[in-house]
Amino acid sequence: MASATVLDERAETVRRFNRFYTRQIGVLHEHLLDSEFSLTEVRILYELAHRKGITASDLCRELGLNAGYVSRVIAGFENKGLLFKTRSTTDARVAQLQLTEKGQAAFRPLNEASRREVGAMLERLAEPAQLQLVDAMAQIQALLGEAETSYVLRDPRPGDMGWIVHRQSVLYAHQYGWNAEFEALVAEIVAKFIREFDPTSERCWIAEKDGKAVGSVFVVREDAETAKLRLLYVEASARGLGIGHRLVDECLRFARLAGYKRMKLWTNSVLVEARRIYERAGFALIEEEPHHSFGKDLIGQIWARDL
């Protein structure tokens, strides 16, 4: 265990970094981006804009805010016509919050301005430095979480692509009875990613816990405006830690920074847990069609969302 003196020195390093980063993102301003909203109000608007069925309790828990304060902000937004409440279909006592068109219109320029500011900060760095910065932030977030749920997202290393093909093939064979056709498909996707990789428009993340790979996901280019999310995977032993949601969130964040306007993905109706993650992240089912693949009769689905 570190001595009190060493711990004090490390604490001062953390405090110094906090002051530096606070200046970098400009949160010392009383109002964000010269708007009428405070920083906390913008954080609440962000959650409302990106989450379906969110409640006041969700906001308190996930943003670490006082219930009374959240209640006052919600009431203010409601009075301004920025949001409305609906009753939960599963519990009539629970009010779900949703932005009105006016609320979406109020949030949109704030979101775009914030994205431009962060993008301008990143543009000062070369591509490898950008990736290093993002990965370092991911490690900070993971390390400051609960110890038993700590994990990091990193770039792939030699051998990781083979691991992805192996683990996905094993999972879907054991859980759904899919045959070697699926392994061939995963291998083709991975090989294409390696051969044609463009770091400005494509990305792969490996989720690592306790020194072992436990999940992965890809963003690949479909066209100039559309990104595709592919091969989301989380080991059974690592489920329940939020890794799947985090991987999808990273895909969306990267796609926005890369300039995409839309993200799509292909899945199958039997993959219930994955579909729940996509729906929570704002994706909507836009197309489905029965097909016979991997030795099974399946219903393929295309999900999409704007960025």
How high is the pLDDT of residue 70?
87
Q: Which tokens hold the place of 66?
A: 């006082």
Residue 1, pLDDT score? 56
Kindly give the parts of the chain with pLDDT less than 70: 1-2, 25-35, 89-92, 135, 138-139, 142-143, 145-149
pLDDT given for residue 240 in this prediction: 80
Catalogue the E-assigned strands of 53-202: 83-87, 95-99, 152-154
Which amino acid, one-letter code, is at 235? E
Structural tokens at position 50:
């990106």
Task: Convert the pLDDT of each residue in 151-174 to its tens digit.
Answer: 888 899 999 999 999 999 999 998
pTM listed for this prediction:
0.55
Predicted pLDDT of residue 93 = 76
Region of residue 65 (phi > 0: left; psi between -120 and 50: alpha; otherwise: beta): beta
What local confidence, expressed as pLDDT, does residue 33 receive? 56
The domains of the chain, with CATH numbers, are 23-123 (1.10.10.10), 127-306 (3.40.630.30)
Tell me how far apart the alpha carbons of residues 303 and 267 are, in angstroms, rounded to a whole number.
8
